[in-house]
Each structure stands twice: as C-alpha cells, then as structure tokens.
Structure 1
C-alpha cells in the first residue's frame, strides 16, 4: 500500500518536461522535474493587441485588431531540504535545495547549444498541459543552515506559450491570402483596411470592389457580406 501511495503521489505532482521540436512538432525529450510542492495557484493570461492608429473617419468603433500575444502561465512553488515536507518515495529530486534548483534550471533555464535557445518545456499537472518557454525565474531563499547554505526556497516561474512551426503554419494557412474569405463589414471598416488585413496590401481594394459589384465602396454599411477572392 505504501508503494502504491508513493506512485500516486508522484503521478499527482506537477511535472516540467524538456522538449524538442522535430519535423515541426514539439516532442518530450529529457530531462524532467517533478515538483515537491504543487502550486496553490496557477495564473493564465491572454492579451489581444490592436493597432495604435484609428481608421480615417472612425466614429467610435475603436482601433483595428492587430494580433494575439502568446498566452502566459505563472506559478510559484517551494523547494525544501529540511525533511519537514514529505518526499515521494520514488522522487528523483535531490535532497539539497541548491541541487533541487539546479535540477529545475537544467530543465527550464540552461542554454541548449544545439537549439541555440533554452528548452521548450511542457508543464503537465493532471488534465492541464501547457507548452512554453521560461521568461522569468525568481528564487527567494527563506531558511538557512548556520553555515549559510539554504534549507528552503520559494521559486516563482513564468512562461510564454510556444506554438510549433507545424501548428503555426496551420493557423496561418487558415487566414492565408491564397484562400477565399467571406467577411462581414463592421462599423468603421473600409475596403482598403479590409484588403490590408486579409492580403497585407490595401491596393487590392478596386479589384475587390469590382468582384463584389460595388458601385460605392468608400462607405461600407455594417453587416454587408463581402467576398475576398484568393490572390492569383
């Protein structure tokens, strides 16, 4: 029963796994670390960015959408070398706090020469999974031996979401100028702005106007459905 409990405790621990990108896919590699103390809170954040300039003649519709920032994940944990906090029977985490933190840094922080960047990591806890790269690692030592060596530390970690090349290409292709698009006009939209958004070039507005049979395209009524054909 003790062995079974230990295995369950190890499986319940939050794990951070080093990964590599192969053929456009993110795959687990080595090493990994299982936390001794699971976070009490995990924060996720998402940011939407808009252009700084407003469209000409904007009557209050606001700035145009620009792009989505990568999602972020952050949490804090405790590394303990006092023996007060129980260690799972099959834990590979070192006993000393300094060695525990080095094990963590090996996964999330150390520069990987072959990839010319720190590791991509997968953070897995129960049904939750997040793929990203470290953006912040703060270490606060809170308890020491008389010699000055640390016995306990609070560690704060933050990650930016990472999307593989293959996944990114699929997302880009979904909005590619080589595909056909149907767009509903919103208040403040102009045909040059829509062409800039879809084709990356506002100069296609005359061709799109002809394609849709527009007699007047300088003022587009909200709700109008426009067809943007693929570029030749």
Structure 2
C-alpha cells in the first residue's frame, strides 16, 4: 500500500535512468532527479491486454486469441507551490519559484535526450511503488499568481508508459506465443503432432508444418534436425 501524505512524508521521487542500462538504473546525477514537495493524493496504474481481431473458425465461445500485453500506464497529479505556505524539507533541492520547479521537472521527464534520441526513461519511486517508464502527457494548470503575473502555484498532471528493455521483455514473454515464429531442434522421441500441440495447443497443424518445412516422411523425425513453426494466420 502506498503511504499516506499525513505524518512523516516520504516524497515521490522521479529520476532519469542511465541511457542503455539493462535493466534501467537510476542516474546518480542530482540534476537528473526531483523529489516532489506535495505528494499525489491519488495515483492510477492501468494494465491492458490485446486480443486478435478475428475469432477462430469453429470457436466454441472461448473468444479471440490473446495477442500481447500493453505496457502499464501510471498517472498522477501533484501541486507545485511557491507561496511559502508548504513547509520545505531541509534537504530539499527544489527551487523556490514555481517556474523554476517546473523547469527542474521538465529536465528530468520531458527534455529530449540527444545521445539516446528519445526523452529520458525515468524511475518513479514512492513507498512500495517502483515504476520505469517514459512520459506520455504533461499538463500544467496555473492556479495562483502574484500581482506581477508570476505564478506561485500550479497543478500538474503526468502520465507515463511503462518501459522494459528488449532483454527484460523477452525474458518475461519467454518467446512461447503461438503468434510468433519458432525454431525447434528435434529431440529423440519427438513427433510432429506432439510438437504442434506444445507450440500451438493443437496437434492437427502437423500437416501444415510438414508442408512448410518440406517434409515428406514426417512420421520419422531426425533428432538434431531444426524445424520451423510459422505463426498462426
């Protein structure tokens, strides 16, 4: 459970990750990190799965085939304050002026990283939450101003899309989906119907796989041979 903002406060911290680190690692550069003065009162974490558009022929109401998992989406709102009303922790490096606070945030989450050719991947830490992602939306609403017009309070809404390196995604997926191509080395005792059942969940595809691999004597597979199993159409 994420801790309440009451009592001793643990600020939500956003830190840019080291480019090309695998897995993503937070930078040790203080200029690439920001701790919020006012924590979110609410936080939304959304997950979504995709399914294929077509229902398989003869489907007995099991529904469409699973396609993939979408990246997680993290959304929250916070307030940046320059009135002096909100106590500032002694160890805080947040600037006093709201515009400077927003610019510090902007440098961490939004500024295009030239060496990596994309905005920063950031790590968001708060209580038990640890989320790696990239900014997808950044909305600022100024709500209080000095007589000069300088803003002294602003509401900020941010949304981040979860990020995984190719290595992390491959390990999680385990490359076992029937919607992917597979190369299998035949083991002693393997049969084509058995391999089709392992990969597709249906042994009846063995004729199509035999044809795809140019097999004529598919009943006697040669151990050590490599067979290719195409994705289901």
**Alpha-carbon offset, residue 63 of structure 1:** 1.1
Question: Helix, strand or coil for the counterpart of 2:95?
Answer: coil
Q: Is the 8 A contact 1:25 1:165 kept in 2?
A: no
Which residue does 2:25 correspond to in 1?
27
The offset of 1:190, in angstroms, is 8.4
TM-score scaled by length of structure 1: 0.74
Is the aligned partner of 1:144 residue 2:145?
A: yes
Query: Which residue of 14, 17, 22 corresponds with 1:16?
Result: 14
Shift of residue 88, structure 1, vs aligned partner? 0.7
CA RMSD of aligned residues (A): 3.0
Distance in 1 between residues matched to 2:46 and 2:210, nearest whole Å: 37
Note the C-alpha offset of 1:127.
Answer: 2.0
Structure 1, 129-138 or 26-35: larger mean CA deviation:
26-35
- What SS class does the counterpart of residue 106 from structure 1 fall into? helix
- Deviation (angstroms), 1:173: 4.0
- For the residue of structure 1 that corresponds to 2:80, the secondary structure is strand
- 2:169 aligns with 168
Larger strand proportion of the pair: 1
Mapped contact 1:191–1:205 kept (Cα < 8 A): no
| Cα distance in 1, alignment partners of residues 69 and 45 from structure 2 | 15
- Partner SS for 2:18: strand
Equivalence map 1:11-160=2 (5 Å):
12-22=10-20, 24-29=22-27, 30=29, 31-160=32-161
CA contact (8 A) 2:19 2:116 kept: no
Contact 1:120 1:162 in 2 (8 A): yes
Assess, with a 3 A threshold, how the Cα gap between structure 1 residues 23 and 82 changes in structure 2: closer, same or farther.
closer
Q: Which runs of 5+ in 2 are unaligned?
A: 1-7, 185-194, 229-233
Using the size of structure 2 for normalisation, the TM-score is 0.74
Counting matched residue pairs gives 196
Instruction: Quote the Cα distance in structure 2 between the aligned partners of 1:72 and 1:134.
Output: 10
Q: Deviations over 1:112-163 (max 9, x none)?
A: 1000000000000122100000001000000001111101000001000000
**Aligned mate of 2:198, from 159, 165, 182:** 182
